[in-house]
Structure 1
Amino acid sequence: MTARDWARLLLLGMIWGGSFFCVAIAVPEIPPLKLVMFRVLIAGAALHLFLLLRGPSFRLALPHAGILFFLALLNNVVPFSLISIGQTEIGAGLASVLNATTPFWTLIVANAFTSDEKLNWNKLAGTALGIAGTAVMVGPGIVAGLGGPVWAKFALVGASLSYAFALMVARRMRGVPPAIIATGQMTASTIIMIPVVLATYGTTNLFAASANAWLATLALALVATAFAYILFFKLVASAGATNTSLVTLIVPASAMLLSVTFLGERLELFEMGGMALIALGLVTIDGRLFRRRQAAGA
C-alpha cells in the first residue's frame, strides 16, 4: 500500500472506532434495527445531496442496481443485524475480537476468488498478530463474554464473513466513482430496512428518542457512514480488498485511544501491549520495513 492508502486506512479506523461512542449513546433509546434503518436512511439522503451539489450524477448507479443491492445486503444489512443480535448475548470484548477476524476471512476468500490478492506468509502472519493484539488489548473483556451461546459467536463470525464477501463484490465496481457506490449502497440498504423495521415495530413511537440519541445517530450516519463509506470504497479501489479489511484491526485500538483522550479512561499495560502487537501486525503485512532491512543487510 502507498502512504496515502495507509493514511486513509488509519483515518477510517479512527472514524469507525468513534462510532462506538455514537452507538453507546443511541442504542439504549433506539432499538438496533431502527438504528440501522435511520443510519442508512440519513446517510443515503446526505450522499444524494452531496451528489446533487458536487456530482457525478446518481444515474451512473442505475446500471449497477442489482450488484448494489447485493453489496447493501453483504456490507450493511446482514453484518449490522448479526452484530446487533450477537451482542445481545456476548460481551463487547469478545465481539470485537471476532469482528477483528475479518482480514483472515478476507485473505481466504480473496485467495479463492481473485488472481491478484493471493495468500502469502507476511499477510497471514500479520493478520494473526493483529487478531492476537486485539485479544490482548481487550483482555478481561473477552473473559466476560466467553460464556455466551455458540450461536451468538457464530453470528459475529458470520458478520465478518459477510464483510469479506462484500469486499469481493466491491472489487467489481472499481471503475465506478466511490461516491456513487456509497450512495447506491445506502439507498439499497434503506429500501431493504424500511419494510423490515415497519414489520417488526410498526409506526408507533418510531421517532421517540431524546435529543442526545438523535445527535448521536446523526453523527453515526453522516460521519461514520456517509463520509466513511466514500473513504472505504476509495481504499478498496486503490489498495484492494484484503488491505482494506485491515481496518477492523485498527478500530478497537482507535476506540480505546478515543476513550482515553475524551473520557479520561486509563490505558492499562496489557492494552498498550495489544496495540503494539496490532502495530507489528500492520508493519508485517506492509512488508516494506523488512525489505529495507534485508536490502541494507545485503
Structure 2
Amino acid sequence: MQIVELILLAAIWGASFLFMRIGAPEFGPIALIFLRVGIATLVLLPVVRSKVARQQLRSRAWPLLVVGVFGSAIPFCLFAYSTLYINAGFDSILNATTPLWTALIAMIWLKIPLDRSQVLGLLVGLVGVIILVWDKIGDGLPEVWLAIGAVLLATLSYGFAANYSKQRLAGIPPFVVALGSQFFATVVLLPFALFYWPAGSISLSAWSALLALGVVCTGFAFVIYFRLIENVSAAYATSVTFLIPIFGVLWGALFLSEAVSLNMIVGSVVILLGTALGSGKVKFSSVRVSGP
C-alpha cells in the first residue's frame, strides 16, 4: 500500500509543474502561489480542531513562519516564475537537486559531515545540472537563465527549510507543521499578491489549474506525504524525489506537447544518481564510509 501512495504522491507533485505552467501566465507567479497556499491552508484547517494542535501553532509561530517562507512562499513563487520561460519537465528535473542542497547545508550549518560517497554525489549532481542546461547556452535568452537560476534558488530554499525544520520543529506533529507553514506563507504573500493581482480576466483552464495546485498538489499531497512519514519513515517519504521527474516530464509531454531532448534524459539520470549518492541512499561498495 505504501508504494502505491509513494507513486501517487510523485504523480501529483510531478503534475504541479504542469499546473503552474498553465496558471502562472494568467495569474502571475505571486498571485497564483498566494491562492495556492491559501487553498491548501483551508484544506488543512481541520487540524486546529485539536486543542493541542492550536497550542503548538501558537508556541511555535516563529519557526513555522520561517518554514512557511523558505519552504513554501519563496520556492513556490520562484518555481511559478520559472514556468513562464522553461517547460514543466525541465523544472521537475532541476527540482531533484533539493536533497543535494539539503546535504550541503547540513554539512556547512549543522556541521554534519559528508562521507566520500555523498561528496561524490554533490559533484555528480552538479555535472548533471550542467548537462541539463547545456543546450540552453545557445539560446542566448537571459530570461531562460534567470528561470534556471530561480529554480536552483528555490531548491536551495527547500534545503534550508528542511534543515531548519529539523532543528526547530522537532517533535511537532507533521500535520501541524503543514498547516502552520501554509498559513504563514499565505499571510506573508498577501500584500505582494494584492500589489501584483492580475488585471485581466482569468480563463477556466487557469482556474482549474489553480484549484488542482491548492487542493490536490498541496493540501491532499501533504496528507499523503505525512502519512508516509508517520506509517513508514521520513527517508522513505523523501525518496519521492527520485520519481517526480519521471512524472513531470511525462505530464509535460502528454498535456503540453513539451519536447523531451537527449540532454534532458541524460541530465535527469545523472542528477538522480548524484541525488541518490548525496542523500546517502546509494553508496558504492568501494567507497569508505568516513569523512572526506
> How high is the TM-score relative to the length of structure 1?
0.73
Question: Residue 279 and residue 112 in structure 1: after superposition, are their counterparts in 2 closer, same or farther (change >3 A)?
Answer: closer
Q: Secondary structure at the match of 2:26?
A: coil
The answer to whether the Cα contact below 8 Å between 2:21 and 2:83 also exists between their aligned partners in 1 is no
Q: How many angstroms does 1:275 deviate by? A: 4.1
What are structure 2's unaligned runs of at least 5 residues?
none
The answer to whether the Cα contact below 8 Å between 2:117 and 2:287 also exists between their aligned partners in 1 is no
- Determine the C-alpha separation between the residues in 2 that align with 1:61 and 1:160: 26
Counterpart pick for 2:106 among 107, 110, 115: 110
What are structure 1's unaligned runs of at least 5 residues?
none
CA RMSD of aligned residues (A): 4.1
Q: Secondary structure at the match of 1:29?
A: helix
Q: How many angstroms does 1:140 deviate by? A: 3.5
- Determine the C-alpha separation between the residues in 1 that align with 2:246 and 2:281: 18
Identify the range of structure 1 (117-126 vs 14-23) with the bigger mean alpha-carbon deviation: 117-126
- Determine the C-alpha separation between the residues in 2 that align with 1:162 and 1:48: 25
Matched, 1:228 2:221: yes
Quick one: which amino acid aligns to residue 188 of structure 1? F
Q: How many angstroms does 1:198 deviate by? A: 1.9
Matched, 1:122 2:112: no
- Determine the C-alpha separation between the residues in 2 that align with 1:120 and 1:109: 14
Question: Equivalent residues in 2 for 1:144-293 (5 A)?
Answer: 144=139, 147-148=142-143, 154-171=149-166, 172-201=168-197, 208-231=201-224, 238-239=233-234, 244=238, 250-260=243-253, 269-284=262-277, 285-287=280-282, 290-291=284-285
- Determine the C-alpha separation between the residues in 1 that align with 2:141 and 2:23: 26
Q: How many angstroms does 1:169 deviate by? A: 1.6
Q: Secondary structure at the match of 1:201?
A: coil
Question: Residue 168 and residue 10 in structure 1: after superposition, are their counterparts in 2 closer, same or farther (change >3 A)?
Answer: farther
Structure of higher RCO (CA pairs closer than 8 Å, 6+ residues apart): 2
Question: Residue 54 and residue 140 in structure 1: after superposition, are their counterparts in 2 closer, same or farther (change >3 A)?
Answer: farther
Quick one: which amino acid aligns to residue 20 of structure 2? V
Q: How many angstroms does 1:71 deviate by? A: 1.0
Quick one: which amino acid aligns to residue 220 of structure 1? L
Question: Residue 293 and residue 108 in structure 1: after superposition, are their counterparts in 2 closer, same or farther (change >3 A)?
Answer: closer
- Determine the C-alpha separation between the residues in 1 that align with 2:285 and 2:151: 36
Counterpart pick for 2:12 among 12, 15, 18: 15
Counterpart pick for 1:37 among 34, 37, 40: 34
Question: Residue 263 and residue 156 in structure 1: after superposition, are their counterparts in 2 closer, same or farther (change >3 A)?
Answer: closer
Partner of 1:28: 25
The answer to whether the Cα contact below 8 Å between 1:97 and 1:135 also exists between their aligned partners in 2 is no
Partner of 2:69: 73
- Determine the C-alpha separation between the residues in 2 that align with 1:57 and 1:167: 21
Q: How many angstroms does 1:23 deviate by? A: 1.3
- Determine the C-alpha separation between the residues in 1 that align with 2:107 and 2:4: 25
What is the count of residue pairs matched by the alignment?
Answer: 281
